Amino acid sequence: MPAPAESPFIKWFSEISVEDIPLVGGKNASLGEMFSSLAPKGVRVPDGFAITADAYRYFLRQAGLDAQIEAALAGLDTGNMENLSHRGSVVRQAILNATLPASLQALIAAAYAKMQAGITTPLDVAVRSSATAEDLPDASFAGQQETYLNVNGVSALLVATKMCFASLFTDRAISYRVDKGFGHSKVALSVGVQRMVRSDLACAGVIFTIDTETGFRDAVMISSAYGLGENVVQGSVTPDEYLVFKPTLKTGHRPLLQKTVGSKEFKLVYDTDGGRRVKNVPVPAGERLKPSLTDDEVLELARWACVVEDHYSAKRGRPVPMDLEWAKDGLSGELFIVQARPETVQSRRNLDVLETFHLARRGKVLASGRSIGTKIATGRVRVIRSVECIGQFEAGEVLVTDKTDPDWQPIMKMAAAIITNRGGRTCHAAIVSRELSVPAIVGTEHGTEAFRDGQMVTVSCSEGETGFVYEGVLPFDVERTDLKSLGHPRTRVMLNLANPEQAFALSFLPNDGVGLARMEFIVSNVIKIHPLALVGFDQLADPMAREEIERLTLGYADKAQYFVDKLARGVAMIAAAFHPKDVILRLSDFKTNEYANLIGGRAFEPAEENPMLGFRGASRYYHPRYQAGFALECRAVKKVREEMGLTNLKLMVPFCRTVEEGLKVQAELARHGLRRGENGLELYVMCEIPSNVVLAEEFCDIFDGFSIGSNDLTQLILGVDRDSEIVAPIFDERNQAVKRMIAHAIEVCRARGVKIGICGQAPSDYPDFAEFLVRQGIDSISLNPDTVLRTTLAILATERAMGAEEVRGVSALT
């Protein structure tokens, strides 16, 4: 690339490092750092140069603009939208009317000519604003100033440069600086001139090296859409989203945890006719349904993101999660990182205080989309369709609009909650909402049509990745726990977990892993299709079932692979969230009537009088009627453990009636490459049938551990149908018959040195039952997430009491 320029007004990326923020701003300093230090590590960054902050100041002095700007902004009230707009316009127009000094124009033209060398057609460049207070760890100025794409020729470059200078005084930038306490004269602007990556012919997007909703540090989140990346940044489209697990990615595995195809309605491309540089065009319907990146490209971007994060963390001596922009060149097929900055919201979160929002009851759902944050808010709706109308908004209202960009920021900070039609988890509305700690739901598609001004609503982002807007004001409470003051009991406290979407958030609860991961939730809520209807799709006679399966498995020539991929990703989300702690996955335990309700299921399930005691659990896995379905479960587990590297995943066999049946299941697992003891695979059995207790020693010989299922065990000991409301009062896990059986199972396991825990409902419902278990010496108690803190305190109190009793006993003896 060109030889270094001697002028203080032009600096090539090869001359710049992160130490140069005062000279070239945060964006350019970061580009220079990556170009110089990370290219040898395989990270591609397009070359370019920076027009320095000294050049900006020189321009202001030569044009006599300093005093004009100071006078125009003196005494400004950023809460007065009309006054803010007027003053900002005055400053911007003054800058645009001024002429760049001839010497500066010559230097810019010379630098552009060096970039142009060897290229016969006018070079197209991206012209990016880079403020000297930008991208600091405690303040994100991202999006406050302008970027101009597909700029061709010296004349256009000079105009774009001056427009970038003027954008330091957009209404949103002025307002943001005032809110953050930055003096206007203390912030200068540098301009980055970077070779364009032709992502208009491919795709582009955003990467975060931290989960943007929960602050989970071990995930890389990638958003992608067709065309230039501004649509993703601004939330103009709902992008594809991918999650990758960092620890096992770094060990050479392929841990693609999540793959969500967005609608990608439009793409931003070069405007070759209209003279506007770029324009949005519709994406053909068939193309929208396809992922914009291959799995290999996702993993390559994730690896680069880890390289960037590790580099910045090493320079600062502490973890630095990153916010990056990337692009794929449609001509060369190459991927590039085009921007990088520290993430400024989740990385500053106080992890010592756990804040949990609980909705007391659900109501009528008016709209849903991607939840941003984990809070709940209520308020009066204000639908605003155009930024020109933001003056109508009043503090404390719920903002409903199509999408936001930085021009909306002055009212976003006053909103109780924000709802948009478009956008994904990395769009402008999402990023700003997190920074403001305002709950938001993006990508509702029809939010502006679903609400009317003045309507009272409850916005809930506390139920996982999907956020819901409910009619009316619903009651909720907020639980705050100081985790530093919470002790760690000797008894392992684990979680019962079903929904993969909640795994990252729940991982912050004090825990020792997952004692029960329920496969059934993933099958019924994510996959939705009976596994045998996928294996035998060609023979499936039901036309409605075939049509629905075709819709859900779009893009899968091998229908069975759909089941494997979806199940693997759901299980992997849970295993990754708690890695390296144990995550115990219970193999499928649907009853025949529940299996029959899956799409295509009725053709494969017998009608049973008492499904609770029929063809369920272990008996299905080796039976010819379901062997092919169980094979898909095994393939998914193998993918999680071997391809994704999540060997903290353990397996548990439910409703195993006899020792012989346990051996048959193990033989079936081994047939599919899941042999107990190999690659650290542990195999547990549910202790939920009286035979499991009576023959506990024999079951200890063939399994690595027990997990007590108190619901079924109580049902079968007391002879009570737990689904019958008539005999429901008799169903009580605290009955002496049940407690004696449990005590015996614990005693046998302790004597044999085999692990035993409980994953049933009882300790979540009854603290005294948890106390009973602790006194019996159980190894672990797995709890529903909403009872973890309360029950942990009860366990700690019991252990302290037991310790005191032991001390008193010793004292009496001596």
Active-site residue numbers? 428, 759
CA angle 506, 511, 514 (to 5 degrees): 75
- The values of phi and psi at residue 644, to 5°, are -90, -15
Cis peptide before 580 (omega within 30 of 0): yes
Residue of 33, 159, 40, 141 whose CA lies nearest to 100:
159
The two three-digit tokens of residue 806, written as one number: 């032991």
Residue 189: what are its φ and ψ, rounded to 5°?
Answer: -125, 130
3-state secondary structure 184-251: HHHCCEEEEEEECCCHHHCEEEEEECCCCCCCCCCEEEEEEEEECCHHHHHCCCCCEEEEEEHHHHCC
Strands 456-460, 335-342: parallel, antiparallel or unpaired by DSSP? unpaired
Which has the closest alpha carbon to 142: 234, 220, 48? 234
Q: In 3D, which of 504, 689, 762, 707 has the Cα closest to residue 587? A: 707
Note whether 632 and 534 are within 8 A (CB): yes
| Alpha-carbon span 713 to 181, nearest angstrom | 62
- By C-alpha distance, which of 618, 705, 613 is closest to 667? 618
Whether the CB-CB separation of 739 and 772 falls below 8 Å is answered with yes
| Contact between residue 102 and residue 203 where contact means Cβ atoms under 8 Å apart | no
Tokens of 713: 């065990």
CA dihedral 90, 94, 95, 99 (to 10 degrees): 170
**d(Cα 301, Cα 199) in Å, to the nearest integer?**
15
Q: Which amino acid is at 414?
A: M
Helix (H) or strand (E) holding 49: strand 48-51
The alpha carbon of 731 is separated from its chain's Cα centroid by a whole number of angstroms, namely 40
CA-to-CA dists, residue 26 to 145, 173, 682, angstroms:
12, 15, 49
What is the side-by-side strand order in the sheet with 335-342?
Answer: 256-260, 240-245, 219-226, 203-208, 322-328, 335-342
- DSSP class of residue 587 equals P
DSSP-assigned states of every residue in 711-769:
HHHHHHHHT--TT-SSSGGG--TTSHHHHHHHHHHHHHHHHHT-EEEE-SSHHHH-HHH
Nearest-5° angle of CA 461, CA 462, CA 466?
55
How far is residue 800's CA from residue 769's CA, in Å, rounded to a whole number? 17
Report yes or no: 514 and 646 within 8 Å, Cβ to Cβ.
Answer: no
Residue 763 in contact with residue 770, Cβ under 8 Å? yes
Alpha carbon separation from 342 to 216, 347, 405, 685 (Å, rounded): 15, 9, 20, 46
Q: How far apart are the first and last CA of the chain?
A: 84
The torsion angles phi and psi of 372, rounded to 5 degrees, stand at: -115, 115
Starting at the edge strand found earlier in the chain, the sheet holding 124-131 runs: 10-12, 48-51, 189-195, 124-131, 147-152
Task: Mark 254-285 as b/e (b = at least 16 C-beta within 10 Å).
Answer: bbbbbbbbbbbbbbbbbeeeeeebbbbeebee
- Helices 102-116 and 153-166 pack at an angle, to 10 degrees, of 120
